[in-house]
Amino acid sequence: MDPSSSKAGLTETRTEAAHVTAPGGWQGLHRDWTSDKDAFKRVSWGKTMMWIFLLSDTFVFSCFLIGYMAVRMSTTAPWPVTSEVFALTIAGHSIPLILIAIMTFILISSSGTMAMAVNFACRRKPGPTAVLMLLTALLGATFVGMQAFEWSKLIAEGIRPWGNPEGAAQFGASFFMITGFHGLHVSVGVIYLGTVAFKVALGHYASRGDYQIVEIAGLYWHFVDLVWVFIFAFFYLW
């Protein structure tokens, strides 16, 4: 056999393979579009609806934080110093933002326990999954309890949604609206996680062999934790 002819045949074969695997033009566009569509077909309705909900909630929290920044920069009244407003007196010493730091640590830690719960759910281990989800819910409930203490402290100091004796009146409105809306999400998440954990412990999902609800609950909880990071940065550290 002529080596040049075999080499030419090999080149033609590679060229044809390249055309098959990487089509160009409208054919390539159509193949890319159909492959994306097929990928989305494998996503469950529950997970899709949760992503849509989280996307809409992202817009709501973004509007709140942007509105807060606009008010903060446009008000002429003095804005309270957050490190002083949210300080706690412990053993005769005023420690700034100590309560907020503990709350943040608790909520971020709950993301870790939730991630472990999802991992055990993927491995079809209902016992550790339920325990870790209940631990996550307990950490979330602790966060809400500490937030209630924070609210009561500020209310006792005279700060209200419609007024603030320490400076700009918009401070109280911004604080109670933003933290209250987030606290509502955490409270709903605690109930949600507790309900799913209870059903996991009873073997409700083991009979079907489908623990995807744990992953969906994890998406919601991680979103709530991520939003708090932005609230912490914009409201307490600015």
Burial of 85 (0-12, 13-18, 19+ CB in 10 A): buried
SS (H, E, C) 134-203: HHHHHHHHHHHHHHHHHHHHHHHCCCECCECCCCCCHHHHHHHHHHHHHHHHHHHHHHHHHHHHHHHHCC
What pLDDT digit, counting tens, does each position of 35-87 carry? 555 555 667 888 999 999 999 999 999 999 999 999 999 998 899 998 889 99
Sign of CA dihedral 182, 184, 186, 192: negative
What pLDDT digit, counting tens, does each position of 169-188 carry? 899 999 999 999 999 999 99
Q: Angle 87-90-91 (CA atoms, 0-180°, nearest 5)? A: 150
Is the CB of residue 227 less than 8 Å from the CB of residue 182?
A: yes
CB-hemisphere CA count at 13 Å for 189? Answer: 34
Note the pLDDT of residue 54. 97
CB-hemisphere CA count at 13 Å for 173? Answer: 12
Q: Angle 199-205-207 (CA atoms, 0-180°, nearest 5)? A: 125
* Nearest-10 crossing angle of helices 212-231, 126-156: 30
Mean pLDDT of 134-143: 98
Output the pTM of the full model: 0.81
Mean pLDDT of 22-26: 61
User: Residue 109: which pLDDT band, with cuts at 50, 70 and 90?
Assistant: very high
Is the CB of residue 236 less than 8 Å from the CB of residue 100?
A: yes
Give me the helices (H) in 76-125, please: 82-85, 98-122
Residue 134 has pLDDT above 90, yes or no: yes
Mean pLDDT of 107-115: 97
SS3 90: strand
168: how many CB neighbours lie within 10 A of its CB? 18
CATH of domain 44-236: 1.20.120.80
